């Protein structure tokens, strides 16, 4: 049975992932200044796969040769990389990176629903439902009334489509564990699968050979995007997915907006508003409700006669 609790190591991985993936919206905003969306994401997944291939070589591990497994890599690469990455890239052409990261926090809402419908051991409990509602309330508090639905409507729908894809990917990735495929191999396979899917679209639609060479800042953003926010982050993510389950792994999306907003304040000089602090508080309460342990510690156990 899949473990659905979270220990101290899992929470540490969750926090690190929130920092790494919160920074990915920042790197994407920089790269979009000079490069087209699909080509950026092709660079992200392909360059992100290279360090993982090196690690596999150093550990004397090989990628599976089975066509069935590679078909699974393609499906996971589509759901977890190619489709949501491209949707976010096109969305950030229309909306700010902070808003995109906030919308990303709707993933656990989809995750609880998808896991409840398509798994047997990650059913939605009252505590998880309350936690998701609190977290969604935090997202709503962060958005406030400042979002204009006119020109942003399509971009917001793209982000919501991406989060739904992430939720399906988290549940689909569980299929690799009974096959004995380790997290590092899954992370590498999905990035290679996403690369194969994105390559023809980049070549046909964006003709990257005709693009002017980008500046050093853009290359640095791509490097951070690929090496830190992709290869290392996905290795951590699949370790978390294996140890704590799909719903708990998706909790990282609750923390990403906090990281992205703080990064914007510290690096870009963006000011936090009271609604951001209110959203952070609700997100923290949602995490506590979904995990359940803080509540159990606050409520004393009934005395046993």
SS (H, E, C) 184-206: HHHHHHHHHHHHHHHHHHHHHHH
Encode 157-180: b = buried (16+ Cβ within 10 Å), e = exposed: ebbbebbbbbbbbbbbbbebeeee
pLDDT digits (tens, 9 = 90+) for 204-215: 999 998 988 889
Higher pLDDT, 218 or 290: 218
So what's the pLDDT on residue 302? Answer: 43
Higher pLDDT, 301 or 160: 160
Structural domain contains residue 303: no
Instruction: Tell me which residue of 86, 44, 82 sits closest to 232, measured CA to CA.
Output: 44
Angle between helices 126-143 and 107-118 (to 10 degrees): 160
Structural domain contains residue 231: yes
The residue-averaged pLDDT of 296-302 equals 53
**Site of tokens 């699949």:** 238
Q: Are 39 and 225 in contact (CB under 8 A)?
A: no
DSSP single-letter state for residue 174 = G
Average pLDDT, the chain: 81
Structural domain contains residue 2: no
The residue-averaged pLDDT of 282-300 equals 66
Among 193-202, 205-214, 295-304, the range scoring the smallest mean pLDDT is 295-304
Structural domain contains residue 187: yes
Encode 223-246: b = buried (16+ Cβ within 10 Å), e = exposed: ebbbbbbbbbbbbbbbbbbbbbbb
pLDDT digits (tens, 9 = 90+) for 76-114: 999 999 999 999 999 988 877 777 887 787 777 787 778
So what's the pLDDT on residue 246? Answer: 59
C-alpha distances in angstroms, 64 versus 72, 74, 181, 266?
Answer: 11, 13, 9, 43
So what's the pLDDT on residue 305? Answer: 41
Residue 297 pLDDT more than 60?
A: no
Residue 254 pLDDT more than 50?
A: yes
Structural domain contains residue 107: yes
The residue-averaged pLDDT of 165-178 equals 88
The residue-averaged pLDDT of 105-128 equals 77
Which range has the top average pLDDT, 12-21, 24-33, 184-193, 258-267? 184-193
The residue-averaged pLDDT of 232-245 equals 77
Measure the CA–CA gap between 134 and 138, rounded to whole angstroms. 6
Following DSSP, what letter does each residue of 258-292 receive, concatenated?
HHHHHHHHHHS-PPPPHHHHHHHHHHHHHHHHHH-
The residue-averaged pLDDT of 238-253 equals 69
What's the predicted TM-score (pTM) here?
0.81
So what's the pLDDT on residue 304? Answer: 40
Residues of the chain with pLDDT > 70, as a percent, come to: 81
Higher pLDDT, 99 or 171: 171
Q: Are 261 and 275 in contact (CB under 8 A)?
A: no
Total number of domains constituting the chain: 1
Encode 74-96: b = buried (16+ Cβ within 10 Å), e = exposed: bbbbbbbbbbbbbbbbbbbeebb
Residue 34 backbone dihedrals phi, psi, to 5 degrees? -130, -15
What are the residues whose beta carbons fall under 8 Å from the beta carbon of 72, sequence distance 6 or more? Answer: 175, 176, 189
Structural domain contains residue 11: no
Structural domain contains residue 9: no
The residue-averaged pLDDT of 122-140 equals 79
Higher pLDDT, 12 or 273: 12
Structural domain contains residue 13: no
25: its two tokens:
């919206």
Domain that holds residue 35: 26-296
Measure the CA–CA gap between 111 and 113, rounded to whole angstroms. 5
C-alpha distances in angstroms, 162 versus 108, 113, 149?
Answer: 12, 15, 18
Residue 148 pLDDT more than 60?
A: no
């Amino acid at each position: 049975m899949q473990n659905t609790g979270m220990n101290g190591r899992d929470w540490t991985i969750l926090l690190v992932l929130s920092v790494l993936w919160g920074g990915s919206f920042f790197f994407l905003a920089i790269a979009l200044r000079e490069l087209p969306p699909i080509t950026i994401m092709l660079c992200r997944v392909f360059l992100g796969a290279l360090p993982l291939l090196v690690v596999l070589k150093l550990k004397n591990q090989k990628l599976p040769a089975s066509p069935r497994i590679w078909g699974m890599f393609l499906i996971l690469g589509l759901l977890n990389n190619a489709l949501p990455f491209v949707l976010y890239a096109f969305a950030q052409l229309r909306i700010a990176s902070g808003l995109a990261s906030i919308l990303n926090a709707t993933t656990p809402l989809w995750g609880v629903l998808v896991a409840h419908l398509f798994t047997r051991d990650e059913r939605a409990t009252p505590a998880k439902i309350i936690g998701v509602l609190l977290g969604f309330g935090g997202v709503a508090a962060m958005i406030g009334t400042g979002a204009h639905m006119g020109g942003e409507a399509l971009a917001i729908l793209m982000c919501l489509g991406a989060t739904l894809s992430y939720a399906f990917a988290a549940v689909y990735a569980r299929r690799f564990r009974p096959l004995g495929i380790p997290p590092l191999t899954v992370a590498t396979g999905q990035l290679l699968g996403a690369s194969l899917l994105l390559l023809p679209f980049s070549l046909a639609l964006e003709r990257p050979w005709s693009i002017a060479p980008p500046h050093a800042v853009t290359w640095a953003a791509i490097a951070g995007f690929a090496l830190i926010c992709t290869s290392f982050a996905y290795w951590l993510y699949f370790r978390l997915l294996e140890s704590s389950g799909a719903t708990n792994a998706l909790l990282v999306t609750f923390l990403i907006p906090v990281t992205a907003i703080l990064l914007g304040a510290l690096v870009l000089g963006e000011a936090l508003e009271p609604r951001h602090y209110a959203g952070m508080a609700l997100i923290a309460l949602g995490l506590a409700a979904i995990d359940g342990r803080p509540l159990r510690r606050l409520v004393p156990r009934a005395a046993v006669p």
